[in-house]
Chains A and B, each alone.
Chain A
């Protein structure tokens, strides 16, 4: 049986200062890549879950996000199941 493949994206909540995003934005400017007005850096996790229960996988991933992958004080997360 093929595992359920999922992608979890964790991003900083709006209003939370993102110095890394700012530094990247500055580096893009110094490369003359024009027109960039904002960069926010986040994280992507590609995760495989055994079995073919997509609802169950979503539940497992929600728990993983709440308990480890995201710090919900300052981060949001989304779960995409392939």
Chain B
């Protein structure tokens, strides 16, 4: 698998993403600067890492979504290429129109930084086939604006099409408001596009690949992409 991690001014999780990909695939990704107009030839997977691109100016991800490389990322997605956006990367994909909805300020008004259980909602995609449907995993979350919002018609459409990837839940897999860290509609933690080749999620699977730092529940995602 040939992959590229996009580096925006203010990204800060690109090395974590690169390490997760390298360990899963045996091959280091290219780190691609946002001002580049093109992806490296033959790129299979593009990862937009977490961070605070452009200091969250205007809206989270808004400026990064209009950078030159994003036109190439959109073409890559149109061709059916895989795109994974984590945290700020998810915000960028929503702002770029590659994913539905928008990430708003956490309803609690607090930055949340903790371990969070998630329920796998659709395990049939290139990203999630290493998990079982309904499986409860534990990822780290660290965000101030992860409150997923969309209008009712959009929510109905993404629910109906199985585009919800992960939902916030408790250790027993219960999805309710008590387990919702940011006020996201329907406890949505991650969504796919309609073709299931683009995934955005607020939690950080790339930080859960080593037992030394709290668990390995993120490994199946990268293993599935590398396989």
Residues of A within 8 A of B (CB): 16-20, 22-23, 67-69, 71, 73-74
A43 to B216, CA, bound (A): 42
Main secondary structure of the interface of B (DSSP, over half): loop
Between A and B, 30 residue pairs with Cβ closer than 8 Å are A16-B104, A16-B149, A17-B105, A17-B147, A17-B149, A17-B183, A18-B105, A19-B105, A19-B106, A19-B108, A19-B109, A20-B105, A20-B109, A22-B109, A23-B109, A67-B66, A68-B58, A68-B62, A68-B66, A69-B58, A71-B62, A71-B95, A71-B102, A73-B102, A73-B149, A73-B150, A73-B151, A74-B102, A74-B104, A74-B149
Which B residues lie within 8 Å of A22 (CB)?
109
Asked if B59 is at the interface (CB within 8 A of a chain A CB), the reply is: yes
Q: Which residues of B contact A17 (CB under 8 A)?
A: 104-105, 107, 147, 149, 183
Please give me the residue from chain B that is nearest to A75 by CB atom: B59
Q: How far is the CB of A46 from chain B (nearest CB, A)?
A: 15
Chain B contacts with A in 193-219, Cβ cutoff 8 A: none
Chain B neighbourhood of A20, CB < 8 A: 105, 109
Q: How near does chain A come to B98, taking the closest CB pair, in angstroms?
A: 14
Q: 16 additional contacts, CB 8 Å, given A18-B105, A69-B58, A74-B104?
A: A16-B104, A16-B149, A17-B104, A17-B147, A19-B108, A22-B109, A23-B109, A67-B66, A68-B58, A68-B62, A71-B59, A71-B62, A71-B95, A71-B102, A73-B101, A74-B102
